[in-house]
Amino acid sequence: MRARLFFFFPLFLALLIPSAPPRKPADIVKSEKANFRIDTVASGLEHPWSLAFLPDGRMLVTERPGRLRVLAPDGNLSLPVEGLPAVAAVGQGGLLDIVLAPDFNESRRIYFSFAEPRGPAGAVNPNSTSLASARFLEEDGKAKLADVNVIFRAEPATEGGLHFGSRIAIAPDGALFLTTGERNLKAAAQDLSNHLGKVIRVRADGTAPPDNPFVGNKNARPEIWSYGHRNVQGAAIHPATGKLWIAEQGPKGGDEINVPEKGKNYGWPVIGYGVDYSGAKIHEGTHKEGMEQPIYHWAPTSIGPSGMTFYTGEAFPGWKGSLFVGALALPHLDRLELDGEKVVKEERLLVDRGLRIRDVRQAPDGTLWLLTDSRDGKVLHLVPEK
């Protein structure tokens, strides 16, 4: 089935998306700290999930059904890049995050996460979150992946299509952080014998660094950095401290921002600030000894946090130092002002647009790029408007 889809999708998308789509009229949006316009650079992408900037200004964009595209700043969108492994495009699963290796200019190395089918050939179930490396190559105008290697597989694989987590962040020491969801198996997040509901830390080859907190513990997985997470779909390295920050989806209420520390337990499902979708109680309470508190949480309404980035650019001086978080359940772009590891102010942008913001990235020029999560997903560019 996947081969047939890959055969038809290029032709279908070529008809759907012009090679250089005209820009829509810009909208002027007034923010407390900045005025900006929003340009639609590309549309017709199917549930785009992540974006990474190439050194020449183009972007790599993942689509959840299992396609990787190259997008030029003028909107020119490539055919799907060849060489991806099979993905379990089921529910929230599929091709998910993508980042460039720090030495990309020399190595052409990228890392990507995906829901990997682990069952019989062609079957999407069981499946689980996996992390792969590859080299991104271009020859005769065509892009492909070479030397694809799955360096980490979250265990166990389970049935269904919920809670894959799947953000990647590269620490200053070169370690790779990967977030996983608990696959809607709540108790799994507290069980150190599996990788579900965890923040994972591995080296570039997928092995556990010797200073990980549970190395040598026969009852725990050595790749685990922190645990007690539900479904972490946002992750970014703080530009000043080098610490990992994450945005974590709660149930009905209880979304969180956390700064996960080595070996710490972040409480899901024992403590939290939300309730079940039925309204029933989930947690024992909001606090418990030995379990960490979020630095910020949304309650009683969930925003559904996804991609996130720290803003360090000069294009929007009033936003410098802010943490931006895409929101899915309460569609908007969230801006958090920080004082150290404390959120002091929240501003909700694009509330009137109804856009499910899957990812937000800062470009090298300091502008912001967004991906919208829909069957007709868009790539949006936020630029300053004087």
Higher model confidence: residue 1 or residue 350?
Answer: 350
pLDDT tier for residue 12 given thresholds of 50, 70 and 90 = very low
Indicate the SS3 state at residue 141. Answer: coil
For the stretch 288-310, pLDDT in tens is 999 999 999 999 999 999 999 99
Q: Per-domain residue ranges for the chain?
A: 2-17+27-384
| 10-17 contacts at long range (C-beta below 8 A, 24 or more positions apart) | 10/79, 10/80, 13/44, 13/77, 13/79, 14/79, 16/44, 17/42, 17/43, 17/44, 17/45, 17/77
Percentage above 70 pLDDT, the chain: 92
- How high is the pLDDT of residue 11? 38
- How high is the pLDDT of residue 5? 40
Q: Is the pLDDT of residue 22 over 90?
A: no
pLDDT tier for residue 19 given thresholds of 50, 70 and 90 = very low
Range 218-243 average pLDDT: 98
Q: Is the pLDDT of residue 140 over 70?
A: yes
Percentage above 90 pLDDT, the chain: 89
Are the C-beta atoms of residues 181 and 189 closer than 8 Å to each other?
A: no
Owner of token pair 């070529």:
14
- How high is the pLDDT of residue 27? 66
pLDDT tier for residue 3 given thresholds of 50, 70 and 90 = very low
Active site residues: 163
Q: Is the pLDDT of residue 263 over 60?
A: yes
Residues 6 or more apart whose Cβ sits within 8 Å of residue 232 = 165, 167, 179, 180, 181, 199, 246, 247, 248, 249
Q: Is the pLDDT of residue 18 over 70?
A: no
| Nearest one of 36, 23, 130 to 84, comparing CA atoms | 130
What is d(CA 377, CA 182) in angstroms, rounded to the nearest whole number? Answer: 26
Q: Is the pLDDT of residue 351 over 60?
A: yes
Which superfamily does 2-17+27-384 belong to? TolB, C-terminal domain (2.120.10.30)
Instruction: Count the neighbouring beta carbons within 10 Å of the beta carbon of residue 139.
Output: 7
Tokens of 241: 């401290």
Torsion (CA) 235, 241, 242, 247 in degrees, nearest 10? -10
Question: What average pLDDT does the structure give for the chain?
Answer: 93
What is d(CA 185, CA 27) in angstroms, rounded to the nearest whole number? Answer: 43
For the stretch 143-153, pLDDT in tens is 999 999 999 99
- How high is the pLDDT of residue 1? 42
Chain centre distance of CA 220? 25
Tokens of 14: 């070529």
For the stretch 151-195, pLDDT in tens is 999 999 999 999 999 999 999 999 999 999 999 999 999 999 999
- How high is the pLDDT of residue 25? 45
